[in-house]
Structure 1
Amino acid sequence: MEIIVVGLSHKTASVDIREKVAFSPTQMEKPLRAVVELPEITEAVIVSTCNRVEIYATTRDIAGGMARVKRFLADYHTISADTLEPHLYAHHGEAAIRHVFRVAASLDSMVVGEPQILGQIKTSYGYAAEFKTSGIILNRFLHKAFSVAKRVRTETKIASSAVSVSFAAVELARKIFGELSDKTVLLVGAGEMCELAAKHFINNGVRGVMVTNRTFERAERLAEEFEGKAIRFEDLFDQLHKADIVLSSTGATHFIIKPKDVEEVIRRRKLKPMFFIDIAVPRDIDPKVNDVENVYLYDMDDLQGVVASNLQQRAEEAKKAEAIIDEEIGQFYKWISNLEVTPTIVALRSKFDEIRKNELEKTLSTWKDLPPDGEKRLEALTNAIVNKLLHPPIAALKKTGQGGRTDLYVDAVRALFDLQTGAAEETELGELEE
Structure 2
Amino acid sequence: MSIIAIGVNHKTAPVEIRERMSFSEGSLQEAYTKLIAGPVVRGCVIISTCNRTEIYAHVMDVEPGVDAVINLLRQKSGVEPALIKKYTYILTGNKTVHHLFRVAAGLDSMLLGETQILGQVRDAYQSAQKHSATDKVINTLFMQAIAVGKRARAETGIDRHAVSISYAAVELAKQFFGKLTGRSVLVVGAGKMSELTAKHLVANGVSGVIVSNRSYERAVCLARQFNGRAVKFDELYGHLGSADIVISCTAASHYVVRTKGVQQVLAENPGKKIMMIDIAVPRDIEPGVRELPGVTLYDIDDLQNVVDGNMMERKRAAVFAEAIIEDQVDEFLRWLGSQFVIPTVAALKRRGEEIKQKELLRAFNKLGDLSEHDRKVIGSLANSIVNQLLHTPVKQLKEYALTEKGPVYTEAINKLFCLDEAAEEPKEHRPFELDVSANALGRR
Matched residue, 2:67:
67
Matched residue, 1:49:
49
After superposition, the C-alpha distances for 1:201-244 in whole angstroms (9 at most, x for unaligned) are 11111111110111111111111111101111111111101100
Matched residue, 1:2:
2
TM-score scaled by length of structure 2: 0.86
5 Å matches for 1:399-410? 399-403=399-403, 405-407=405-407, 409-410=409-410
Deviation at 1:52, TM superposition (A): 0.8
Change (3 A) 1:237 1:357: same
Change (3 A) 1:275 1:74: same
Q: Give the partner amino acid of 1:97.
A: V
Change (3 A) 1:84 1:35: same
Moved more, 86-95 or 399-408: 399-408
Change (3 A) 1:380 1:210: farther
Matched residue, 2:153:
153
Change (3 A) 1:126 1:411: closer
After superposition, the C-alpha distances for 1:171-210 in whole angstroms (9 at most, x for unaligned) are 0000000110110011011111101111111111111111
For the residues of structure 2 that align with 1:86 and 1:221, how far apart are their CA atoms? 46
Q: Give the partner amino acid of 1:160.
A: R
Tell me if structure 1 keeps the 8 A contact 2:184–2:207: yes
Q: Give the partner amino acid of 2:34.
A: A
5 Å matches for 1:270-349? 270-349=270-349
Change (3 A) 1:39 1:349: closer
Deviation at 1:161, TM superposition (A): 0.6
Change (3 A) 1:350 1:83: closer
Tell me if structure 1 keeps the 8 A contact 2:140–2:433: no
Change (3 A) 1:342 1:186: same
Q: Give the partner amino acid of 2:233.
A: F
Q: Give the partner amino acid of 1:121.
A: V
Tell me if structure 1 keeps the 8 A contact 2:104–2:146: yes
Moved more, 28-37 or 44-53: 28-37
Matched residue, 1:135:
135
Matched residue, 2:441:
none
Matched residue, 1:22:
22
Moved more, 299-308 or 16-25: 16-25
Deviation at 1:368, TM superposition (A): 12
Tell me if structure 1 keeps the 8 A contact 2:31–2:72: no
5 Å matches for 1:168-183? 168-183=168-183
Tell me if structure 1 keeps the 8 A contact 2:93–2:404: no
Question: Secondary structure, in 3 states, of the residue corresponding to 1:27?
Answer: helix
Deviation at 1:87, TM superposition (A): 1.7
Change (3 A) 1:215 1:405: closer
After superposition, the C-alpha distances for 1:366-416 in whole angstroms (9 at most, x for unaligned) are 999989xxxx9x999999997776544432221111226434543454456
Change (3 A) 1:56 1:415: closer
Provide the aligned C-alpha RMSD in A: 3.2
Matched residue, 1:198:
198
Q: Give the partner amino acid of 1:141.
A: L
For the residues of structure 2 that align with 1:218 and 1:408, how far apart are their CA atoms? 64
Structure 2 residue 212 is matched with structure 1 residue 212: yes
**How many residue pairs align between the two structures?**
428
Tell me if structure 1 keeps the 8 A contact 2:148–2:328: yes
Change (3 A) 1:404 1:42: closer
After superposition, the C-alpha distances for 1:100-120 in whole angstroms (9 at most, x for unaligned) are 111111111110111111111
Q: Give the partner amino acid of 1:15.
A: V
After superposition, the C-alpha distances for 1:265-286 in whole angstroms (9 at most, x for unaligned) are 2344432321101111111101
Change (3 A) 1:259 1:358: same
Question: Secondary structure, in 3 states, of the residue corresponding to 1:28?
Answer: helix
Deviation at 1:73, TM superposition (A): 0.9
Tell me if structure 2 keeps the 8 A contact 1:106–1:114: yes
Tell me if structure 1 keeps the 8 A contact 2:143–2:433: no
Tell me if structure 2 keeps the 8 A contact 1:339–1:432: no
5+ residue gaps, structure 1, are none
Matched residue, 2:230:
230
Tell me if structure 2 keeps the 8 A contact 1:29–1:127: no
For the residues of structure 2 that align with 1:405 and 1:13, how far apart are their CA atoms? 31
For the residues of structure 2 that align with 1:413 and 1:58, how far apart are their CA atoms? 20
Deviation at 1:327, TM superposition (A): 1.6
Question: Secondary structure, in 3 states, of the residue corresponding to 1:230?
Answer: strand
Q: Give the partner amino acid of 1:113.
A: G
Matched residue, 1:121:
121
